[in-house]
Amino acid sequence: MDLISGLITIGKTIIGTIIPPLKKKFFDQPKIYIRFDGNGASRIPGPASQKNDFSKPFNQFELIRIDTLKWRYRLIFRNNSEHPAYNIKLLSPKQDSAFMLEKKIDNLLPLLQNTELVHNVEFQFEMEGTGSETADAADKHPDFLLKNKFVLEYTNVKGTKFYTIFDGLKEEEKRNQFVRTFK
């Protein structure tokens, strides 16, 4: 009986020394939620489009223009876990004239438990249409926000990588997915 209880004690000790480090490395996952807040849209009238037929009289309200549409949002990263997140990087979409962060994400700044990082972002694209068509488009969320997946990479304290994938086309509760691998 003493041999069996001794083996059980040794087994518990071995498991007790192996499980916590593995748990800390692979299962203590920060969960960073991505959210977009606000919709300050603007429309900058541009030149007349080649689609207009200038050979006959037309109503100026029917003039087709190439307008620039801009939307400003607050991009919020919220750590809703008890584990800090490190080395935060926005992997996709790539920043260009259609999507820009106002300032670079500081990947040396950890996102502690139950805190937020806020970045101002701007979406911009040109649209060909009448004034009322471009005004209607500016009142909606930009297609870029809805059609692109936003992928955030971060690590836990042990350096294990985790990812949040934000999909604007999904229902509010299902927009953020937390995964261990991303391709």
Whole-number Å distance between alpha carbons of 50 and 29: 54
Q: Tell me the pLDDT band of 26, cut-offs 50, 70 and 90.
A: low
pLDDT of residue 29: 84
Whole-number Å distance between alpha carbons of 152 and 77: 9
Local structure of residue 135 (DSSP, 8 states): H
pLDDT tens per residue across span 49-76: 888 888 888 787 888 999 999 999 999 9
Q: Tell me the pLDDT band of 82, cut-offs 50, 70 and 90.
A: very high
pLDDT of residue 47: 92
pTM confidence score: 0.78
pLDDT tens per residue across span 141-150: 888 888 889 9
Which is nearest to 126 in space by CA: 46, 59, 48? 46
Whole-number Å distance between alpha carbons of 71 and 69: 7
Cis peptide before 93 (omega within 30 of 0): yes
Q: In this structure, are residues 93 and 55 in contact, taking their beta carbons and an 8 Å threshold? A: no
pLDDT tens per residue across span 91-120: 999 888 889 999 999 989 999 999 999 999
Which is nearest to 112 in space by CA: 94, 88, 91? 88
Q: In this structure, are residues 126 and 142 in contact, taking their beta carbons and an 8 Å threshold? A: no
